[in-house]
Structure 1
Amino acid sequence: MTPRCCVLTVLACISLVSPLSFGAPAQGHNYSTEGRVEYVLSCMDDNGHDFVNVYKCSCAIDKIAQTLSYDDFVEQSTFSKYATLGGEGGAEFRVDRAKAQTRKFRELQRDASKACGIGKQASAAK
């Protein structure tokens, strides 16, 4: 399967089925489709490109969307993504505010992953 085909499959699945409620729209803040797809693809990069992870990773972004506005999600996930960026370019990601945002996002992401059965904590529970 080509990478483009995988992306199209993920898009189709996300648009047709909500993993939490099987068809009902997810409750929470309104996130762009692109933002949700980027999160799901990144989550699948980290946890495997198995079909079941489409649902698990979609569940996780739904959980995050229940808590954070899209703007807060973008800010916190950006700080988290670049928290380990070295040199002068990464300095703004190492200030106290950035560290606090990174900590909040990683905790929220960890809770969402646990609730949706993603990662090592889900495997250990089996």
Structure 2
Amino acid sequence: MTIRCRALLAFSLALAGPLAWAAGHAPTPTAATGGYSYPTEGRVEYVLTCMDDNGHDFANVYKCSCVIDKMAAALPYDEFVEQSTFSKYATLGGEGGNEFRVDRAKAQTKKFRALQTTAYQTCGLGPQKTPTVAK
């Protein structure tokens, strides 16, 4: 995806996304979205990562946006960050990965991946790939 496309995506999501987090307000359920408010930056980061995993087709902008909307409807942002972090680093080897292999981390990873799988299916994306750790 070109820098221009990423900028346009970020701009369009910024217009549609809530700015409560940036204003210092904790994420709370909202009647308009039927879920929790996430910061725009978090939504954009998720959509871009989702598109990296599923292809940079224009339709995937909508599908990946749908996935993060479904996750935001079910999970407060702080829990989303915690669970997605555990999920991302669940396969991290060595001593540095010990923190991500304890029972609590495994449970958080399992919850996150189940929610993400359901959101992927609902939004018309194939099965999500297990995240790889950048070296």
Alignment TM class, shorter chain as reference: 0.7 to 0.9
What is the aligned length? 114
Counting aligned pairs with the same residue, the percent is 68
Q: For residue 96 of structure 2, what is the aligned residue in structure 1?
A: 89
Matched, 1:118 2:134: no
Matched, 1:7 2:6: yes
2:48 is matched by which residue type in structure 1?
A: L
Deviation digits for residues 7-36 of structure 1, max 9, x if unmatched?
A: 112113324568xxxxxx533101000100
Flag the structure with higher helix content.
1
TM-score, normalised by the number of residues in structure 1: 0.84
Matched, 1:59 2:66: yes
- The runs of 4+ residues in structure 1 deviating greater than 6 Å are none
Matched, 1:30 2:37: yes
Give the CA deviation at 1:49: 0.5
- Tell me which of the two structures has the higher relative contact order, counting C-alpha pairs closer than 8 angstroms and 6 or more residues apart: 1
Give the CA deviation at 1:84: 0.3
Which residue, 55, 67, 74 being the options, matches 2:81?
A: 74
2:34 is matched by which residue type in structure 1?
A: Q
Q: Where do 5+ consecutive residues of structure 1 fail to align?
A: 19-24, 122-126
RMSD: 1.8
SS at structure 2 position matched to 1:74: helix
SS at structure 2 position matched to 1:77: helix
